[in-house]
Amino acid sequence: MSASLDALLDIYRRLEAAYDIDRWHWRDEYTGWLEICLGAILVQHTAWANVERALARLRNAGAFSLQAIAGLPNEELAELVRPAGMPLQKARRLKAFAALVEQSGGTERLFSLPADELRALLLATHGIGRETADAIMLYAARRPVFIIDAYSVRLFRRLGLGPEGNRYETWQRCFQARLAPDPELYRRYHAAIVLHCKTTCRVRPRCPDCVLLGICPTGQQQPGPGPLAKELGTGNVRAERLIPSR
């Protein structure tokens, strides 16, 4: 990655000016650790709207706790989380996480472990990969780990700032070596990237209206900027119009 700290912060400020990051679904003041952890597992290979439906079904069934999840038969739990897709697989993954918490003496003890130890335990849990583990560490345990997902790779590749290869750890080190180890910054940066890639930097990008157009070599090869890009090009205006539905 050739991006300097100043470049990464410039990208963050432009995105923060364009999106209402406080509407992100994992905000500290609105979301507890349980919803974050369950959501991080359920959102695998599906949209967040489907996760919200699955979480609502758990609540309505009185099963919105790790104790309840651990006690439900796999098939019954699978039916509750069916809206999130892969129901039986995700039911087993939720149960595996519930077992990890119980074996660790509760979330307080689990989340207070040294970061390397906590991440190793999460990664050793059935159905939890690197992205899911880091989402739990950042949003629930509040550890400064930068989440790498398809959105961040897509965006920074198009900006010409991504490292060679696809190794998760290589991408993660590139961000963490430059940005201060600040969980709040990492949370907001990740949220901004996801919102931007859902709205503008899609698989088929909407480059003319991108707030990063002025610094994006990929976008500059596309037709000229649209009105929103011109309005927001300085990164100083918040555009409520750009907030995607959750």
Residue 29: per-residue pLDDT: 56
pLDDT value of position 200? 96
Domain with CATH 1.10.1670.10 in the chain: 5-23+147-237
Q: Is the CB of residue 145 less than 8 Å from the CB of residue 132? A: no
This prediction has a pTM of 0.88
CA 77, distance to chain mean position in Å, is: 24
Instruction: Please give the CATH topology (third level) of the domain spanning 5-23+147-237.
Output: Endonuclease Iii, domain 2 (1.10.1670)
Among 17-26, 48-57, 187-196, name the one with the lowest average pLDDT. Answer: 17-26
> Which pLDDT score is estimated for 8?
96
> Mean pLDDT throughout 105-119?
97
Start and end residues for every CATH 1.10.340.30 domain found in the chain: 33-140
Residue 1: is its pLDDT beyond 60?
A: no
pLDDT at 225 over 90: no
Instruction: Identify whether the C-beta of residue 202 lies closer than 8 Å to the C-beta of residue 21.
Output: no
Whether the per-residue pLDDT at 226 is higher than 80: the answer is no
Instruction: Look at residue 214 in the predicted model and tell me its pLDDT.
Output: 94
Mean pLDDT for the chain overall: 90
- Alpha carbon of 14 to those of 6, 83, 110: distances in Å? 12, 35, 36
CATH code of the domain occupying 33-140: 1.10.340.30
